[in-house]
Amino acid sequence: MSEPATVAAQLRELSLYYELEGDKHRAFAYDRASKSVMAAQGLHRLVDENRLEELPGIGPSIARVVSELARTGSVPVLEAMRSKWPTVVVELAALPKVGVLKARKLFDAFKPANLEAISLLCEEGQIRELPGFGKTTEQKIYAAIEKRRTTGAQVLLEDAEDASAAVAAHLRGEPSVKRVEVAGAVRRAVEVVDALAFAVVGDDRAAIAARLASFPLITSVERETMPIVGHFADGMRAEVWVGAPLRFGWTHVLATGSRAHVETLRAEAAARAVDLDTLYAPDEQRVYRALDLPFVPPELRDGTDEITAAYAGDDYSDLVTLEDVTAAFHCHTTYSDGRNSVAQMAQAAAELGFQAITITDHSAAASYASGLDAVRLREQHAEIAALEDPPVRILRGTEADILVDGSIDVPPELIDELDVIIASVHQRYKADEAAMTERLITVMRAPYFKIWGHALGRYVMRRDPIAVRIDDVLDAIAESPAAIEINGDPHRLDLDPVNARKAKARGIKFVLSSDAHSTKGLGAVRYAVAMARRARLRKRDVLNTLPADELAAAVRPRGP
């Protein structure tokens, strides 16, 4: 049966077709049904028991569609829509600043064969002549197609993981396939993924290519290439690297990349007269061993200096792991914009194996998130104190806004009552570089311990980082009572690995956090761990790997 994420993607695709047909409300219904399928628990069971209509937004008609998609991977209406509407319309609608309506207008006016044709029309200045379009829009479309040409489609790591899991499960359905591993940028935990990749053990390439082609979201497959490449309707690619079992190690390395990492390995192999393509290596460890290298964790294979560092003696065995993390850091509750109570968050943290949790709701200045003033903060502290036998140690904290003047939104008399302060920019993101740098340095130098929250304020693919002289701020932090958060919210992943490496080089400490706004959100800490590993952080670089008592002492604003 198809994965829920796959069914959801097909419903979204149907939604887009209905919108193209002008049936706005049906499109909305399918979009809502798609979200519902995504959020559903135990979709397969609901299908089996004919209970899909229990899901919100799913009535008799969509229930039939979902059931058929889940069971067979397709449905006639989707196939009909795919042959009626050429790929280029879908691709146009997916471009930033171009929606379904503009895509439809462009298609009706020009009947373009592909994005290339639209690009050409931009160059000729023809797009701007269309009613509703202008010079600016034309330039944006041109730039978007240009970007698409160089980088392909791009999705968040989190979404790429879901898609990869679905494709991997599908490939495992081919009888001649012995093993399927998710590889590529997903395995390397790159924030933005532009191609899915898989390492497969099998001896029947044709059968594997055919299996890939039958994945519900894939529209075409290049079968003769190495790797086999499948194309999704939205421009995403799936690369499938096939290898024999005794040489799977090298296949796995090739599929994982990065390109620069692989090239470096090839060069080292050539220097040692090792033939990687025929090397006996059932696993990756043996590939690296053959080159006198320790196992290089996937997150580090970015092609910078990970090989050089390994030859210089770093065996990467002490990189921080999820198991090292002792405290659920940076958590919101119903006091501000979270969905669960303090007690529920503490319970969920305990169930995930944490020893402690930091409750850090927004401060008063974050009024849009119902930030807490001193009165409500003390109410929360009283509630925490009243909890009988809490399942984990609870640190009373705040995520305080960094105000424009470089002060932190915590009344001075409250600092002594707090166990931890996270200081974050939530307003006036667009301050100029000099002002923002000054503002942050002032905050970091404040004479009590604080943790810089979601440092550069980016939203991956949606909002650029703040403009700031990062080196100056890091220099200030290095000599101040301050640490830096690596925020595991899949949309933030902030501070990013490149800058985190710079911070680590200055001896700055980190916390790995989830920025959870619900019990479910606590799991996002694994992304923080992944970013930390990419930054080559060790357990000793991360404060919330300490036992709860030591952690509490380390982050207390005023010290012991």
Partner DNA sequence: GCCGTTTTCGGCCCGACTGTTTTCAGTCG
Which residues of this chain interact with DNA, rule CB under 7 A? 25-26, 28-30, 33, 53, 56-63, 96-103, 105, 128, 131-138, 140, 462
Q: Can you list the alpha helix ranges (DSSP code H) found in 23-114?
A: 24-39, 43-48, 60-72, 76-84, 87-94, 100-110
Pick the closest to residue 509 from 449, 441, 448, 424 (CA basis): 449
State how far the Cα of 551 lies from the Cα of 25, in Å rounded to an integer.
53
Structure tokens belonging to residue 380: 């929360």
Q: How far apart are CA 144 and CA 122, in angstroms?
A: 11
The CB-of-467 to DNA minimum distance in angstroms stands at: 16
Looking at this protein, which amino acid is placed at residue 275? Answer: D
Residue 544, φ and ψ in degrees, nearest 5? -85, 35
Nearest distance from C-beta of residue 23 to DNA, angstroms: 7
Instruction: Report, in Å, the least distance between residue 532 CB and DNA.
Output: 26
Smallest separation, CB 56 to DNA (Å): 5
Nearest CB to DNA, comparing residues 450 and 458: 458
Cβ–Cβ under 8 Å, residues 202 and 174: yes
State the nearest-atom distance from the C-beta of 94 to DNA, in Å: 8
* CA-to-CA separations, 401 to 218, 241, 341, 405, 460, in angstroms, rounded: 45, 48, 22, 11, 21
Residue number with CB closer to DNA (77 or 387): 77
- Ramachandran region, residue 88 (left: φ > 0; alpha: ψ -120 to 50; beta: rest): alpha
Residue among 48 and 129 whose Cβ is closer to DNA: 129
In terms of phi and psi (left: phi > 0; alpha: psi -120 to 50; beta: otherwise), the region of 152 is left
> Which residue matches tokens 């403009």?
467
Closest CB 90 distance from DNA, rounded Å: 13
- The per-residue DSSP string of 283-349 comes to SHHHHHHHTT-----GGG-SSSSHHHHHHTT---TTB--GGG--EEEEE--TTTT-SS-HHHHHHHH
Q: Give the CA distances from residue 436 to residues 168, 270, 429, 439, 539, in Å, rounded to whole numbers and listed in that order.
A: 45, 49, 8, 5, 31
The distance of closest approach from Cβ of residue 234 to DNA in the complex, given in angstroms and rounded to an integer, is 13
Closer CB to DNA, 423 or 460, in the complex: 460
- 341 or 427: CB nearest DNA: 427
Contact 525, 495 (CB under 8 A): no
Is residue 69 within 8 A of residue 216, CB to CB? The reply is yes
- Number of C-beta neighbours around residue 481 at 10 A: 15
**How far is the C-alpha of 284 from the C-alpha of 295, rounded, in Å?**
7
Structure token digits, residue 173: 């359905």
Q: How far is the CB of 350 from DNA (least distance, A)?
A: 32
Cβ closest to DNA, residue 362 vs residue 491: 491
CB of 429 to DNA, least distance (A): 11
Can you tell me the distance from the alpha carbon of 402 to that of 556, in angstroms, rounded to the nearest whole number? 18
Given the complex with DNA, which of 11 and 242 has the nearer CB atom? 11
In the complex, minimum distance from the CB of residue 15 to DNA, in angstroms, rounded to a whole number: 10
Nearer to DNA, 28 or 110 (CB): 28
Nearest approach in angstroms of CB 281 to DNA is 43
92 vs 229, beta carbon nearer DNA: 92
Amino acid at 344: Q
Of 194 and 239, the one with the shorter C-beta distance to DNA is 194
Residues 532 and 510: beta-carbon distance below 8 Å: yes
Cβ closest to DNA, residue 237 vs residue 491: 491
Taking the complex as a whole, the smallest distance from the CB of residue 57 to DNA amounts, in Å, to 5
> What is the rounded distance in angstroms from the CA atom of residue 481 to the CA atom of residue 142?
48
Q: Select 112 or 249, whichever has its Cβ closest to DNA.
A: 112
- Closest separation between CB of residue 268 and DNA, Å? 42
Sign of CA dihedral 25, 26, 32, 36: positive
Nearer to DNA, 18 or 354 (CB): 18
**Quick one: tokens of 509?**
């400490």
